[in-house]
């Protein structure tokens, strides 16, 4: 199963109130763990700040194991999106600019 297929399985299981967008096309390997695939999603706020969320899946997992893990992957992504949306826009602004001690 390729990343696009996995991404679709995840999106198909999102709750109705989830607004995460699937992302793809990254040329860099953002995974800190060799032997893992990263599947990306974007969360956005009205202040135009976006967060890049992801899940990692081991290359050793077969299709049946991936399908079995979809509910927990969806739960994790939905929890991360809720946390991002609960932040105020001032915090989002700091995230965009980078936090400083000032």
> Which tens digits make up the pLDDT trace of 11-27?
999 999 999 999 987 66
**CA 18 to chain CA mean position, Å:** 12
**Which residues are paired to 40 by β-bridges?**
23, 54
Number of domains in the chain: 1
The boundaries of the domain holding residue 60 are 3-97
pLDDT tens per residue, range 48-72: 888 999 999 999 999 999 999 999 9
Classify residue 16 by its DSSP letter: T
Residue 33, pLDDT above cutoff 80 = no
- Structural domain includes residue 19: yes
Pairing of strands 50-58, 21-23: unpaired
- Structural domain includes residue 80: yes
Give the per-residue pLDDT at 14: 96
> Can you state the angle between helices 3-13 and 63-86, rounded to 10 degrees?
60
- Structural domain includes residue 45: yes
- Structural domain includes residue 102: no
- Structural domain includes residue 91: yes
Classify residue 28 by its DSSP letter: S
């Amino acid at each position: 199963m390729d990343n696009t297929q996995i991404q679709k399985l995840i999106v198909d299981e999102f709750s109705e109130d989830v607004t995460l967008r699937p992302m793809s096309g990254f040329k860099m390997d953002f995974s800190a763990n060799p032997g893992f695939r990263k599947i990306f999603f974007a969360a956005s706020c009205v202040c135009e700040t976006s967060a890049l969320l992801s899940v990692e899946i081991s290359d050793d997992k077969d299709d049946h194991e991936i399908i079995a893990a979809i509910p927990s992957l969806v739960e994790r992504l939905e929890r991360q999106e809720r946390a991002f949306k609960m932040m105020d826009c001032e915090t989002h602004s700091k995230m965009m600019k980078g936090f400083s001690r000032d």
